[in-house]
Amino acid sequence: MPVCDGSCCQRLKSLISPQVLVQLNGESHCGGVLVNSQWVVTAAHCIHGNNSGQNLTVVAGEHNLDVFEGTEQHTPVFMAIPYPGYVALSGDGDVALLRLRLPVTPSPRVVPVCLPTRSFAERELLPVRYHVVSGWGGAHRGG
């Protein structure tokens, strides 16, 4: 469940629609971002060299991990592609693509991320000091 300043954040449900849960053997494992109906960006360390995507499932429309809300769409991963420059020891290049076996169905809770143009990102986003980050990991100040 999203956390805002240490508490559950219901008001951000609509902002986290591109966020997906990546499961390994049916258990919560990592997060990711829906790029389109059949592709997800995640961290390379999340696939553990599992390029076949075997035992990985993406859950789109997830919000509260402890509650079945009826918005969740479970889709097996067809293929996992780590960035060729990923270095596990340093964490450099820690990014990967997941191709889903079947496309997810768009809904108010399942929406691909809206990526900015380069000029907009450089002009409007780069100068902004604070941004929103979402996920299901531990929350603490400074990290």
Query: For residue 119, is pLDDT > 90?
Result: yes
**Residue 12, in any domain of the structure:** yes
User: Which domain does 16 fall in, by range?
Assistant: 3-125
pTM: 0.81
**Residue 132, in any domain of the structure:** no
Tens of pLDDT, residue by residue over 63-111, are 888 888 899 999 999 999 999 999 999 999 999 999 999 999 999 889 8
Structure tokens at 31: 């997060």
**Residue 140, in any domain of the structure:** no
Beta strands per DSSP E along the chain: 3-4, 7-8, 19-24, 27-36, 39-42, 56-60, 73-82, 96-100
**Residue 54, in any domain of the structure:** yes
CATH number at residue 80: 2.40.10.10
**Residue 18, in any domain of the structure:** yes
Tens of pLDDT, residue by residue over 12-67, are 555 557 899 999 999 999 999 999 999 999 999 998 777 678 899 999 998 888 88
Beta strands per DSSP E along 63-111: 73-82, 96-100
**Residue 64, in any domain of the structure:** yes
Domain count, the chain: 1
> Are the CB atoms for 76 and 112 separated by under 8 Å?
no
The rounded radius of gyration (Å) of the Cα atoms in the chain is 15
Query: For residue 123, is pLDDT > 60?
Result: yes
